[in-house]
Structure 1
Amino acid sequence: MKQYIRNYQFLKLQKLVIVSILIGFLSAFLGVALKKLTEYYEEIFAHQASINPLYYILFPIFGLSVIYFLREYLFKKKENKGIKEIFESTNSKSQNLPNYKISSHFINGLLTVIFGGSTGIEVSTVVASATIGSVAQRKQNVFKEYKTELICAGVAAGITALFSSPIAGILFALEVISRKVTRAFLISNLIAVLTAFGLIFILNEKPLFNVIITTWHLKAIPYFILLGILAAFVSVYLTRCVLFFKVQFSKIKTHYFKIIIGSSILSISLLLFPQLYGEGYHAIKALIVNPNETQLTLSILLTFIGILILKPIVTSATLVSGGDGGVFAPSLFIGAFLGLLVALVLNTYFSANVIPVNFIIIGMAAVLSASIHAPFTAIFLVCGLTNDYTLFFPILVVCLISKYTAKMIYPFTVYTYSPSLAK
């Protein structure tokens, strides 16, 4: 009898290893494919819009309309709820992520961003790759109790593919989705992220941001702490914006009115600030080209303030009018602009002599940490984006400060909020 149990456990472990490799490969392949397609087409459409601003009006309404018709006639009239879909699945024995979620999030995430929707493909990738894990779990009865672990394996592999950071992948799955470690979690997630990392190594995927960080100074720590506190406030503003728009748009019964209102907000904002187009990574790349040479003028000050005010609004408008995405890319975008603005103000008015590029990178991590309440994910994700760990210690300090300050101001994220909890 003992031998039979041992054989069964070994067979189960064998199957878990094989399915984890499969989940890791498929999730990473999906993530890389979506990233490459989005980068390629977003650049084309954003360039066309910069030449002819009329496209800033046409693209958002066209993209959101196509997503609406696909949802109505192809994807069973089901709305994409983002990461909350994963929570609903992991918290229920009977509720699963249906197979079509892979294609619906892939297509809708792509269409949202390339046509100017001010969000990112991260959540689309996370839900699609979580569905790969869910489908694999359902195919074998032996994995009945490993539902959360295999969903997390898909999520971790998807994050690894997008940000070239296996540690960020596992930490996101742990901090945001699972919130507990089991032996099966460690085995499946480690194998999945190593498989994903192997694929992106073979494909020679480069870090998203090509930035040189040389050093940081102890005298800058008080300024980093200030940045962490400010990041907490803007992240809460982002969260409250998304939740406010959800409530207001839920009162509109005709979906096409939502599209018209949402795309109007988006179009006007894009005409004012083209940097808000799509994921915004192109704008971050422009910031880090030579931030030390940037001088704080009234024009730059007003532009940065306008972008920081409008980004949460256009992100919310994109999501509630049918766009696919979440707060990952918007948080990184807001953090980069906030970080550079703080550095420029300190250097111009207080002669602080801080290094602007450090504030851009730390700002990205701080706002992300505060927005999703996952500081360790934010640390390794941003270090993976730049392939540089020089700022690890200040990022760690600032991410913890921003998270706990944000929780003191407002205890929910867009993932954890529900009306019943807020009462």
Structure 2
Amino acid sequence: MNTTAKIKKNYQFIKVKKLVIVSILIGFLSAFLGIVLKNATEYYESIFFHRATINSVFFVVFPIFGLSIIFFLREYLFKKKENKGIKEIFESVNSKSKNLPSYKIPSHFINGLLTVVSGGSTGIEVSTVVATATIGAVAQRKQNVFRQYKTELICAGISAGITVLFSSPIAGILFSFEVISKKITRAFILSNVISVTVAYALCYILHEEPLFAVDVTTWHLKAAPYFILLGVLAALHSVYLTRAVLFFKAQFYKIKEAHFKIILGSLILSLSFILFPQLYGEGYHTMKILFLNPNATTLTFSLALTFIGIILLKPIVTSATLASGGDGGVFAPSLFIGAFLGLFLALLLNRYLDANVIPLNFMIIGMAAVLSSSIHAPFTAIFLVCGLTNDYTLFLPILVVCLISKYTAKMIYPFTVYTYSPTLAK
């Protein structure tokens, strides 16, 4: 081997070694941020929600207080820049000149936390994704040798963040591939596998449990037609959610005075919370109650009205939250809507068609179906929901329904809240 070949081989080895080291660091930092944000949000949201259920006036106070604090933080601390969510990541990975500035880490962490604990009807998933993507972007800028790995290192941070939120390393990698990168390189595989391994190891050390404890026993082939129906309904509702978010953002954008946006958004949230307290925050507290014993739930007229109200209002309160300045996305709302939609459909089928379907199964499949069609990422939705429930019994029906829901939604409306732009829509 000549001298030139040796130098080239040594250089490649050094690059790989540095990529491994930086992937470990990104994985740890992103996972730690995600775990802290998840646990802090869950803890303080439960306190705020409990106070509001005791005294309904807090359903009015908390949203306007939270949105106002977020506005002042953006105005005076975070360079007067609005958070664009995942679109910021797209802009960064598709441009050599645009980068995710480091202040995005505290900005999304703080604003995501404040949004949910004060009642904002969204989740911390997008806040976590952008903050962890920024960790990868900052690491990429530290050394010239990483310049060619910009997308890979951003995705490494995202993968680790998704892993700790949903207890699923596969969902983390699939989300980075399906939604962000859309291509696989050797550097992508190496950096993302290392980062999610570190993230999952940290979850294990800290005893992070799956979000929902369920006991899926089986599923029946006779339910297949009803699964397909659920997939179509999930697609329709995801389009409703997407269009609602885009519509509210467009209308609120016309309001030039920030305090009017905050007042209007808070008013919509407060009225919705008073009618249906289940809409407060990301809604996981309500979903945990639903998961306690859904198979024993009996459909009554008042319960049916509650389901209908929640399913129809959730996209509106989510849209109002995001349009009035809240930080978040459609991950948690999609899971929330899917759980209610699936359970409601199962109860209707059992009551009026004597279908004898299993409500718990419909809840889980509904969660995956609405998420799949909302973000156009079926495989992410499959492993994410299976990770959330720590159960893969329903893998096959979830796979089929997620594909149906995604392509049905795409046929009806080809955009998601992340991919839509006015120029593309023309």
Q: Tell me, in whole angstroms, the C-alpha distance in 2 between the residues paired with 1:205 and 1:251.
A: 43
Q: Tell me, in whole angstroms, the C-alpha distance in 2 between the residues paired with 1:151 and 1:212.
A: 36
1:207 to 205, 210, 222: 210
Q: Tell me, in whole angstroms, the C-alpha distance in 2 between the residues paired with 1:110 and 1:164.
A: 20
What corresponds to 1:29 in structure 2? 32
1:289 to 288, 292, 295: 292
Q: Tell me, in whole angstroms, the C-alpha distance in 2 between the residues paired with 1:334 and 1:157.
A: 25
TM-superposition CA deviations, 1:23-51 (whole Å, max 9, x none): 00000000000000000000000000000
Q: Which amino acid aligns with 1:328?
A: F
What corresponds to 2:53 in structure 1? 50
Q: Tell me, in whole angstroms, the C-alpha distance in 2 between the residues paired with 1:290 and 1:157.
A: 32
1:248 to 241, 248, 251: 251
Shift of 1:130: 0.1
Q: Which amino acid aligns with 1:87?
A: F
Q: Tell me, in whole angstroms, the C-alpha distance in 2 between the residues paired with 1:33 and 1:369.
A: 27
What corresponds to 1:335 in structure 2? 338
2:72 to 52, 55, 69: 69
Shift of 1:417: 0.3
What corresponds to 1:395 in structure 2? 398
Q: TM-score, normalised by structure 2?
A: 0.99
TM-superposition CA deviations, 1:375-402 (whole Å, max 9, x none): 0000000000000000000000000000
Query: Does 2:79 align with 1:84?
Result: no
RMSD of aligned C-alpha atoms? 0.4
Q: Tell me, in whole angstroms, the C-alpha distance in 2 between the residues paired with 1:276 and 1:123.
A: 19
TM-superposition CA deviations, 1:49-83 (whole Å, max 9, x none): 00000000000000000000011111000100100
Q: Tell me, in whole angstroms, the C-alpha distance in 1 between the residues paired with 2:140 and 2:374.
A: 30
Q: Match of 1:56, SS?
A: helix
Query: Does 2:341 align with 1:307?
Result: no
Query: Does 2:226 align with 1:223?
Result: yes
Shift of 1:293: 1.5
1:6-405 → structure 2 map (5 Å cutoff) = 6-405=9-408
Q: Tell me, in whole angstroms, the C-alpha distance in 1 between the residues paired with 2:246 and 2:81.
A: 20
Q: Match of 2:198, SS?
A: helix
Q: Which runs of 4+ in 1 moved over 2 A?
A: none
Q: Which amino acid aligns with 1:173?
A: S
Q: Which amino acid aligns with 1:412?
A: F
Q: Which amino acid aligns with 2:172?
A: G
Shift of 1:189: 0.4
Q: Which amino acid aligns with 1:339?
A: G
TM-superposition CA deviations, 1:92-133 (whole Å, max 9, x none): 101000000000000000000000000000000000000000
Unaligned runs of 5+ in 1: none
TM-superposition CA deviations, 1:291-317 (whole Å, max 9, x none): 111111110111111111100000000
Q: Tell me, in whole angstroms, the C-alpha distance in 2 between the residues paired with 1:174 and 1:206.
A: 25
Q: Match of 1:265, SS?
A: helix
Q: Which amino acid aligns with 2:198?
A: T
1:402-417 → structure 2 map (5 Å cutoff) = 402-417=405-420
Shift of 1:181: 0.3
Q: Which amino acid aligns with 1:193?
A: V
Unaligned runs of 5+ in 2: none
Q: Tell me, in whole angstroms, the C-alpha distance in 2 between the residues paired with 1:285 and 1:359.
A: 15
Q: Which amino acid aligns with 1:372?
A: I
Q: Tell me, in whole angstroms, the C-alpha distance in 1 between the residues paired with 2:252 and 2:71.
A: 15
Q: Tell me, in whole angstroms, the C-alpha distance in 2 between the residues paired with 1:144 and 1:383.
A: 35
TM-superposition CA deviations, 1:275-299 (whole Å, max 9, x none): 0000000111111111111111110
Shift of 1:8: 0.4
Q: Tell me, in whole angstroms, the C-alpha distance in 2 between the residues paired with 1:300 and 1:113.
A: 26
Q: Match of 1:378, SS?
A: helix
Q: Match of 1:416, SS?
A: coil
